[in-house]
Amino acid sequence: MTGAADRPEGFRRVAAALADAGHPHAPVWLDVSARTAQEAADALGVALGQIAKSVVFRRRADDVAVIVVTSGDRRVDEKRVAAITGPLGRADADFVKAKTGFAIGGVSPVAHSERPVLLIDRELHRFDFIWAAAGHPNGVFRLSPSELVVLTGAPVHDVVQVAAQGVVGPT
């Protein structure tokens, strides 16, 4: 791996934010693209749920990005999120890039170009450590769910879908 200075701008921005926060794990550049949680889990050799995926919505009231960080093996319940944030709409690729500074598949929970509404799903706390996107589909960084809360200052909520049997379904 070469230094962060040789990497795309989004990756460098996340690396700088993590360094500024004193985070102990620098972002890692993967040899393969990890645009999906499954691709990231496969590349890292971890459980799908250990991938902290960022799901982006558009808040209708003010066009602010709403980012839900949840486990890769869970599906976000838009109604639960809307109960917290207000009505939501879909966020297309242009909106995601404009509001976060990252392309879909590389949206980090830190270092956004505009301040989003950020929520962390409690399901991430099933794991001792997780991996989040580092500003590019090839970039990831390791952290604990508690470190994610500290780094982002985001509240933890229960915002995933629940299956009929009371078990949360996979994505």
Question: Residue 129 and residue 79: Cα distance in Å, rounded?
Answer: 28
Asked if 105 and 140 touch (Cβ cutoff 8 Å), the reply is no
Two structure tokens written together for 129: 């450590």
8 Å CB contact between 113 and 9: no
pLDDT value at position 162? 84
- The pLDDT, as a whole number, for residue 160 is 96
Q: Quick check: 132 and 140 in contact, CB under 8 A?
A: yes
Domain range annotation of the chain = 4-157
pLDDT string in tens for the chain (171-residue length): 445 778 999 999 999 999 999 999 999 999 998 889 999 999 999 999 999 999 999 999 999 999 999 999 999 999 999 999 999 999 999 999 999 999 999 999 999 999 999 999 999 999 999 999 999 999 999 999 999 999 999 999 999 998 644 455 554
How far apart (Å, rounded) are the C-alpha atoms in residues 13 and 5?
10
Among left, alpha and beta (phi > 0; psi -120 to 50; other), residue 86 is: left
* DSSP state for residue 24 in the 8-state scheme: S
- State phi, psi for 29 to the nearest 5 degrees: -95, 120
**What is the DSSP secondary-structure string of 128-164?**
S-EEEE-SSTTEEEEE-HHHHHHHH-PPEE--B---T
Three-state DSSP class for residue 69: strand
Looking at domain 4-157, its CATH architecture is: Alpha-Beta Complex (3.90)
Dihedrals φ, ψ of 85, to 5°? -105, -20
- Identity of residue 38: Q
pLDDT at 134 (0 to 100) = 97
β-pair type (28-29, 139-143): antiparallel
Single out the residue of 88, 48, 95, 97 nearest to residue 68, CA to CA.
Answer: 88
143, β-bridge pairs: 130
